Amino acid sequence: MPVNEQSLGLAKEIVKCGGAVAFPTETVYGLGANAFETAAVENIFKIKGRPNDNPLIVHIHKDYDISSLVSDIPPYAKKLAKAYLPGPLTMVYKSRGKVSSAVSCGLDTLAIRVPSHKDAQRFLKYINLPIAAPSANISKHVSPVTAEHVYSDLNGKVALILDGGKSEGGIESTVLDCTGEIPVILRSGLITREMIAEVAGDCGEYVLKDGEKAKSPGMKYKHYSPKCKTMFFVAGELDKALFEYEKSNREGVCAYLLCDDETAKAAAVKNVLNLGKNGEEIASNLYLKLREGENKAQLIIAVAPKEQGGVMKGVMNRLTKACKDV
């Protein structure tokens, strides 16, 4: 449904009764429920088939006072919030334990996000509750960037999908640990390490070591995967990718090349999923093209873009998890 008084009224009723509502954000669509209610939060895990040790982000309206939910907010976090919120930056703080413990899967921290999408803000203001919401896809599938994507994954499982058009950002928010001396990126996204360091003075990046317990449990799972087979090649391996492309199509396996505009031009083949020219454009198109690809290809052959800095860090993280066997 389009976002209007009627659909927002319905959304409020559903959330108040412990149900889940899909809603647009500037990154990807979310599947939201009342963060204070354990049964409502557990229901989200059930709908998605999500592992129960992967915590959820709480979404709030821009005027919501986070000090009721979390404590020990460091000065650098206040600066970052001023610079980048509302926007695609999720900040992890020490929890006051006010929301259901099912949200953070027993961790003593809470991830908070203030989305900038105008319809997300309208929804959050109307409901006036912290909303626990993962991306609105079946667990491990490609995240949804349109209401149609949500419908194709969750048809029959959710009562309402608020349609706010295409999510322009295209990849999930940056998740930033704000519990230490300096901020540390747990998941890369549109707010880059450079952007955070510029405001906070410094910014670390969390790397999961073998055998270590993941600080952000979502990192350890296979993710963002299209339903068809995939192959992955690094930038500079276009010749190898083209060899596989020709071979597959010759053998009757419908293969598509997934690559940036420059590579698409160099490849000059018929079946291309063109991601676009620069980091932002590629991020915005990534899930759209992965979903388009799984519907028309039997094999997606991904070739990584040459550009690797800034936003491309987050794009590469998603692209490798989607198309490479990791």
Choose, by CB under 6 A, the member of 3, 7, 30, 291 that binds ligand TXA.
30
CB closer to Mg ion out of 48 and 61: 48
CB closer to ligand TXA out of 24 and 263: 24
Sign (positive or negative) of CA dihedral 81, 219, 137, 310: positive
90 binds, among ligand TXA, Mg ion, none (CB under 5 to 8 A by kind): ligand TXA
What's the rounded Cα separation, in Å, for the pair 108 and 308?
34
What is the total residue count of the chain?
A: 326
Task: Give the N- to C-terminal CA distance of the chain in Å, as an integer.
Answer: 37
Residue number of the CB atom closest to Mg ion: 135
Choose, by CB under 6 A, the member of 86, 87, 164, 218 that binds ligand TXA.
218
Beta bridge partners of 206: none
173 binds, among Mg ion, ligand TXA, none (CB under 5 to 8 A by kind): ligand TXA
- Contact (Cβ atoms closer than 8 angstroms) between residue 31 and residue 169: no
Query: C-beta of 105: minimal distance to Mg ion in Å?
Result: 14
Give the x/- contact pattern for ligand TXA in 84-113, rule: CB under 6 A. ----x-x-x-----------x--x-xxx-x
Choose, by CB under 5 A, the member of 104, 135, 263, 285 that binds Mg ion.
135
Helix and strand numbers, DSSP H then E, in the chain? 10, 15
- Contact (Cβ atoms closer than 8 angstroms) between residue 263 and residue 238: yes
Q: Tokens at residue 143, please?
A: 């995240």
Interface positions, 167-186, toward ligand TXA (CB under 6 A):
172-173, 175, 186
CB closer to ligand TXA out of 143 and 263: 143
b/e code 295-315 from CB counts within 10 Å (16+ = b): eebebbbbbbbebeebbbbbb
How crowded is the C-beta side of 190, counted as CA atoms within 13 Å?
26
Query: C-beta of 137: minimal distance to ligand TXA in Å?
Result: 8
**CB-based burial of residue 280 (10 Å sphere; 0-12 exposed, 13-18 middle, 19+ buried)?**
middle
Choose, by CB under 6 A, the member of 18, 51, 74, 217 that binds ligand TXA.
217
Q: Is 25 in the site for ligand TXA (CB under 6 A)?
A: yes
Cα Rg of the chain (Å, integer): 20
CB closer to ligand TXA out of 103 and 303: 103
Neighbouring residues of 222: CB distance < 8 A, sequence distance ≥ 6: 140, 321, 326
What's the rounded Cα separation, in Å, for the pair 170 and 152?
18
CB closer to Mg ion out of 43 and 135: 135
Interface positions, 121-150, toward ligand TXA (CB under 6 A):
133-135
Query: C-beta of 57: minimal distance to ligand TXA in Å?
Result: 5
Query: C-beta of 218: minimal distance to ligand TXA in Å?
Result: 2
Binding site for Mg ion (CB under 5 A): 135
Binding site for ligand TXA (CB under 6 A): 25, 27-28, 30, 54-57, 88, 90, 92, 104, 107, 109-111, 113, 115, 133-135, 172-173, 175, 186-187, 216-218
